Amino acid sequence: MYLLPIIPLCVIFCVGTTLSTPVPEYEKFLENPRYLNYDELTNLFRKLETENTGLVKLHTIGRSVKNRELWALEINSNVNNRTLLTPMFKYVANMHGDEAIGRQLMVYLAEYLIYNYGKVERVTRLMNTTDIFLMPSMNPDGFENSEEGQCESKDRYVGRENENHVDLNRDFPDQFEPQRAGTLLSGRQPETIALMTWIISRPFVLSGNLHGGAVVASYPFDDTSAHRTCCVESRSPDHDLFKKLALTYAENHQLMKKGDACSNENFDKGITNGAYWYEVKGGMQDFNYIHSNCFEVTFELSCCKFPFAKELPQEWKNNKEALLSFMEAVHWGVKGLVRTEGGDAVLDGDVVVVGLGHNVTTSNRGEYWRMLLPGKYEMYAVAYGFLPSERVTVVVEEGKTTIQNFTLKHEPVEQGKQTKKADGWYWS
C-alpha cells in the first residue's frame, strides 16, 4: 500500500485552513510588582488618559482631608459621550487605607482593559457596552499612613481611618438611625461627602466595594433595626438578586468560593449577608441601594490587609475572572427609556416592579436600568404631572438584557394631583 509522505498530507489538509490562535493578553503590569503611592498613581492615570484619548477620561470627584484628589478613571469605547442606555459601573477600593489589595488591583484592571481593547473579544465587548469607573483609593491619606506587610490595622487604626481618624465606612447616612440619616451631608468627612455626591448625581447601576482582612462577598443590608452585633440577617427587597451578585464574584474567585480561606472563617459558598456577619452602621453599600439606583456588594479580598507586593500577581490571578464577571452582571435585567407622547425624556420618573419595594429613577436623559433575576415581572412607569403608564409583563432571560420603553401621558389638571410615596405613586 502506498503511503503519502507526512508533509504532503499536511499540504492536502492544511492549505486554506486558518488556525485561530488565542491572542496573548496584555499583562505586563505584573512584572516587578509593587504598590504605587499617590503621586505615582496620579502620574500613571494622567498618562493613561493622555495616551488613550477617546477610551479613557480621568475624573476627580473631590479631595481628601490632606487635599489629595479622589481619582476615578472612566474607561469606555466612547468616553466623551456616553451612548444612550449604556449602563454605568464602578469599583471603589481602599476606603480603609490599610486595605491595599483592591487599590492595586484597580491599577491592574485599568491597564488590562485599556491595552487589551480591540484585541481580546471579551474586553472589547465589555468596553463597548459598559461605562466603567475605577476608583483605586477613596482614602489616599490613610494609604500613605499605612505600611506594606501589615496584616492587621495599626494602633488607633492609623491608616484604616482617614486623616481625621474617622472610619469612612461608618460615616454614611444610616436607614436605622433616622436622626443621623436626616442630616445627609452635615458633619461628614470630605471623602464621604464626595462619594455621596457622586453616587447620587450619577446613574450608576452596579458597584463593587473592595476591602481586605477576610475573603468573602458581603451583600446588603449591613445594618439592622435589631442592632445586634452579628448573626441577624437583614434582608433588602432585592435579597435574592444581591445573593446572586455576591455568588457571581465568589464563584469566580479562586479562593473565595471555598469559604474558608482565612483561619476561623467559614462562609457558605464564600458569601454572607452583611448584618449576619457583623453589623455596620453608616456603611457605603447600604447607602448606594437606599439613596440611589445603584446596587453595591462588598468584596473582602485577602486575609492580610496589606500583603507584601510580591503577592500581587497571585492576587490578580485570584480576582481577575471575578472582577470581569461581576462587571458583566451590570447587564442583567431590564433597561429602557421613559418618554412623553411627544418624545421628550421624562426626568426623575420612577420605574416600578410590582411586588418589589424598590423603585429606580430615570436619568436626565430619561433612561432607566432595573437589575433583575430571570423571570416574569409586571412593571410600569410613573412621574409627577403624568398619568401612570400601562402595566406590562416583562420577561427577563439569563444573561440577557430586556428592553422595555414606557410612554407617559400628561395628567389632566381636573383629575387631581399625584403624590409620591415610598413604593410608588397614588392619587389625592
**Candidate list 300, 315, 328, 367, residue with the active-site label:** 300
The gap from C-alpha 420 to its chain's centroid, in whole angstroms, comes to 28
Pairing verdict, β 424-427 and 418-421: antiparallel
Q: Are 195 and 173 in contact (CB under 8 A)?
A: no
Length of the chain: 428
**Which secondary-structure segment (H or E) carries 328?**
helix 312-328
DSSP secondary structure letters along 168-181: GGG-S--TT-HHHH
- Ramachandran area for residue 385 (φ above 0: left; ψ -120 to 50: alpha; else beta): left
Place of cell 457596552: 129
Q: Which of 264, 392, 403 is nearest to 331 (CA)?
A: 403
Q: Are 71 and 137 in contact (CB under 8 A)?
A: yes
CA distance 176 to 191: 22
Q: Is 27 a catalytic residue?
A: no
Q: Are 208 and 324 in contact (CB under 8 A)?
A: no
**Which secondary-structure segment (H or E) carries 88?**
strand 88-93
Active site members? 300
